[in-house]
Structure 1
Amino acid sequence: MSALELRPEVATAPADGGMVLLDERSGRYYHLNGSGAEITRMLLDGAAPGEAARRLAERYALAPERAAADVDALIASLEGAGLVAP
């Protein structure tokens, strides 16, 4: 997977140190915490998951494996919620 692309029906907005995603099809809101929002912004701005994990590891002094697992888990959650474009 390269950069993340949300479905056209998903709107984003900053909120409480994180990000809110609104699935306009279902009317459901999803709240991302600060790190989830940061990862999502990196991916939406064109970073590949590996690059986002590298940046996350550097910024927060995380083990690279932990950062990669966090990025992968976020992507899986977004996909599972049907928010990611095919």
Structure 2
Amino acid sequence: MALRLKSDVCTAATEYGTVLLDQRSGEYWELNPTGTLVVRTLLEGGDEQDAVNALVAEFDIDRDRAARDVATLTEQLRSSGLAS
């Protein structure tokens, strides 16, 4: 399923990855390069499997670990109210 950030969440690229700012609470999340790749893939319309494939292609990570990481990150973003 594609990911959509809530309208009050801003993103900013950093030297290390990406920062997500929740303008409602003032809290922010800093995503490392793998998290950035996952979120970018999902925001561009890809599904979780596309994000897993992107991680496997870009980083030295096995498919099972990539799938767990993608599922964990997307669940955290949704449960925190940053994404739907």
TM-score where L is the length of structure 1: 0.89
Runs of 4+ in 1 over 2 A off after TM superposition: none
Q: What's the counterpart of residue 30 of structure 1?
A: 29
Could you tell me which runs of 5 or more consecutive residues in structure 1 were left unpaired when the two chains were aligned.
none
Q: What's the counterpart of residue 3 of structure 1?
A: 2
Q: What's the counterpart of residue 45 of structure 2?
A: 46
Q: Secondary structure at the match of 1:37?
A: helix
Quote the offset at 1:59 in angstroms.
Answer: 2.0
Whether 1:69 aligns to 2:68 is yes
Quote the offset at 1:15 in angstroms.
Answer: 1.4
Could you tell me which runs of 5 or more consecutive residues in structure 2 were left unpaired when the two chains were aligned.
none
Q: Secondary structure at the match of 1:13?
A: strand
Q: Secondary structure at the match of 2:25?
A: coil
Deviations 1:11-44 (A, max 9, x none): 0010132100011111111111111111111111
TM-score where L is the length of structure 2: 0.91
* Greater Cα shift, 59-68 or 3-12: 59-68
Aligned residues: 84
